[in-house]
Amino acid sequence: MSTKFFAFYFAFIMLVFFVTRTEGLSIRFQNIICRAEDPKFIRFDTCKITAVSRKSQYITVKAGLLERPLTKFRLRFFFMQRLNGWKPFLYDWSIGCNFTKTLNKLTSLVWDIVRNISNFNTDCPYYQETVDIPRAENTYFQNILKMLPIPTGVYGLFIQEGTEAHKRVHVEIHIQVS
C-alpha cells in the first residue's frame, strides 16, 4: 500500500471519527458463505453463524487443507459496501507466501486479528491440516472498529484464494455496521 494511500486513509478515519459516534457502532453478521471452488484443495466442514443473544453472535469456520504442505498461495481479501449492489470499499489486498516480511501498520493489525481468531499463525510453508476459526465474536470486531471506524452500512468481506484462471476458495461474510 502506498504512503499516499495511507495519508488518505488516516484523513478519512479522522473525518469519520468526528462524524460518527464510534462508541455506539455495532456489528451484526448477516450471512457467511464458504465455497470450495477446487474440492481437491480444500474441504469446508463448518461455515456458520451462531446467535447467542440478540446482540451477541459468533462465526465458526472449519476447513481441511488437502494439498499439504502449502508452499504457494495467493490470497485476496477485499471489502465491498452494499449500496445498489456491491461497490468496492477502501480495502483490496493480495498476499502471497512470505507476506509477514512486508507488514505495515495496518496489515500487521489484520495479521494480529487473524492469529487471534484462528489457528493460522505462520505463512509458508504451512503444514497444518486445518484452518480453524472456532469462535470469532461480533463483540471482538466491535472493539476493533473503535480503532478503525467506518460509516454505518452493510459490508461484504470477500476472501478468495487462487488465480483468476484457477480459483480454489471463495468466502464471503456480510456484515451490518450500525
Ligand X SMILES: *[C@@H]1O[C@H](CO)[C@@H](O)[C@H](O)[C@H]1NC(C)=O
- Which residues contact ligand X (rule: CB under 6 A)? 72, 97-98, 109, 112-113, 116, 124
Closest CA to 169 of 66, 27, 92, 22: 66
Closest approach, Cβ 124 to ligand X, in A, equals 6
Specify the pairing of strand 74-83 against strand 153-162: antiparallel
153-to-47, 67, 77, 159 alpha-carbon distances in Å: 23, 38, 19, 19
Q: Output the DSSP codes for 60-115.
A: EEEEEE-S-SB---EEEEEEEEEESEEEEEEEEEEEETTGGGG--HHHHHHHHHHH
- Say if residues 67 and 94 touch (Cβ distance below 8 Å): no
Closest approach, Cβ 84 to ligand X, in A, equals 33
Q: Which residue is nearest to ligand X (CB)?
A: 97
* Residue 141 vs 158, nearer CB to ligand X: 141
Closest approach, Cβ 125 to ligand X, in A, equals 8
Closest approach, Cβ 26 to ligand X, in A, equals 18
Closest approach, Cβ 85 to ligand X, in A, equals 31
* Residue 18 vs 147, nearer CB to ligand X: 147
* Residue 84 vs 98, nearer CB to ligand X: 98
Main-chain phi, psi angles of 26, to 5 degrees: -120, 155
* Residue 31 vs 104, nearer CB to ligand X: 104
Q: Residue-wise over 143-157: b if at least 16 C-beta within 10 A, else e?
A: eeeeebbbeeebbbb
* Residue 47 vs 124, nearer CB to ligand X: 124
